[in-house]
Amino acid sequence: MDVREYTGQMSSPIRNMKVTIIGSGGYIRTPKPCCSCELCKIARKDIKERRLGPSVYINDIDLLIDTPEDIAEGLNYSNIKKVSNILYSHWHPDHTAGWRVIEQIQADIDIRSSSGSQNLVKPDDTINIFIPADLRELIIKLEPGIKYMEKCSFAEIKTFKDKINIKDCCIEAIELSNDIPSYLYLISIIDKKIVICMDHAKNIPASKIPEGVDLMIMPLGYMEEDLPQDHIRRQDTSFKENLNLIDILHPKQTVFVHIEELWRKRIADYQDLETQYKDKNLHFSIDGTEVAV
């Protein structure tokens, strides 16, 4: 029986989920434009070392979380066939500036139509854009093109308060208790639980996260322990602080995203860390990483 056809009659219902890390990079993608550091030089030649902006896709429900400016490239690279739903984590441009991917997916032009107004073919389905209610004004003010996508009938903005349900998935928004209005998402489906925190892991409200989730996706944090006290990167958690959180929450596996060019580390360096922290079952994503839970 195909797990997608689950009818509730199985003795121990197990539904596998697939999550794809579309873009493993952070605020600054790798290679950084015009940068001549060794990492960027290598990443221009070897696509595996490339890191597009932060975005995650839940395959089972065609849900894309965040649209960085290079998301179209990421969807192509990860061979994603359908986006029915988009969910935003916060307003920052590295997570929203690629909203025009909606137009690129939905727009179609009939080259044989003689009437100007009929040249544009309306899409069969609109894309749902889910935004937590208190982020709506902020996101639309900074990215008014998202509203324009609705005007073009390409998408429909759907604000929500605490949770949304897509098919048999429940997605709960948990506010991060930092200065930047932003959310992490707790995704539940039958007996699986996934936490997805796209950015700003500082002050993840640990008490609101169930212990032992099947998968936790979280930003890597800063890798330099000796950053000056007032350094801007200290707005986020350090990698070591994230390890402490993992020790508290005991996720079955953790996948790091939002991996900055700034740390100048290659895939092999992160693989060494995976070995070093083998007991914690950590994984440092690359673009296109697929995780099954």
User: Which residues would be at the binding site for Zn ion (CB under 5 A)?
Assistant: 27, 32, 35, 37, 40, 94, 199
Q: Residue 68 forms beta bridges with which residues?
A: none
In the complex with Zn ion, the residue whose CB is nearer, 65 or 171, is 65
CA–CA separation, 103 and 126 (whole Å)? 11
Q: 245 with 236: CB under 8 angstroms? A: no
In the complex with Zn ion, the residue whose CB is nearer, 91 or 130, is 91
In the complex with Zn ion, the residue whose CB is nearer, 65 or 83, is 65
In the complex with Zn ion, the residue whose CB is nearer, 68 or 251, is 68
In the complex with Zn ion, the residue whose CB is nearer, 40 or 197, is 40
Tokens of 83: 């986006």
- Please report how close the Cβ of residue 196 comes to Zn ion at its closest, in angstroms: 13
CA dihedral 51, 71, 171, 244 (to 10 degrees): 20
- Please report how close the Cβ of residue 99 comes to Zn ion at its closest, in angstroms: 15
In the complex with Zn ion, the residue whose CB is nearer, 29 or 193, is 29
Peptide bond into 31 cis (omega under 30): yes
Give whole-number Cα distances, 220 to 15, 130, 158, 216, 236, in Å. 28, 25, 30, 12, 10
- The CB-based long-range contact list for 143-150 (8 Å cut-off, 24+ gap) reads 143/91, 143/93, 143/96, 143/97, 143/99, 145/99, 145/100, 146/96, 146/99, 146/102, 149/99, 149/100, 149/102, 149/103, 149/106
- Please report how close the Cβ of residue 232 comes to Zn ion at its closest, in angstroms: 13
In the complex with Zn ion, the residue whose CB is nearer, 154 or 239, is 239
CA–CA separation, 64 and 86 (whole Å)? 5
CA–CA separation, 199 and 216 (whole Å)? 13
214: which residues sit within 8 A by CB, 6+ positions away? 192, 193, 194, 251, 252, 253, 293
- Please report how close the Cβ of residue 8 comes to Zn ion at its closest, in angstroms: 39
- Please report how close the Cβ of residue 219 comes to Zn ion at its closest, in angstroms: 7
- Please report how close the Cβ of residue 106 comes to Zn ion at its closest, in angstroms: 25
In the complex with Zn ion, the residue whose CB is nearer, 32 or 192, is 32
Beta strands in 190-259 (DSSP E): 192-196, 215-219, 254-257
- Please report how close the Cβ of residue 162 comes to Zn ion at its closest, in angstroms: 23
- Please report how close the Cβ of residue 32 comes to Zn ion at its closest, in angstroms: 5
* Among candidate residues 290, 287, 293, 292, the one with its CA nearest the CA of residue 54: 287
Q: For the chain, how far is it from start to end, CA to CA, in angstroms? A: 18
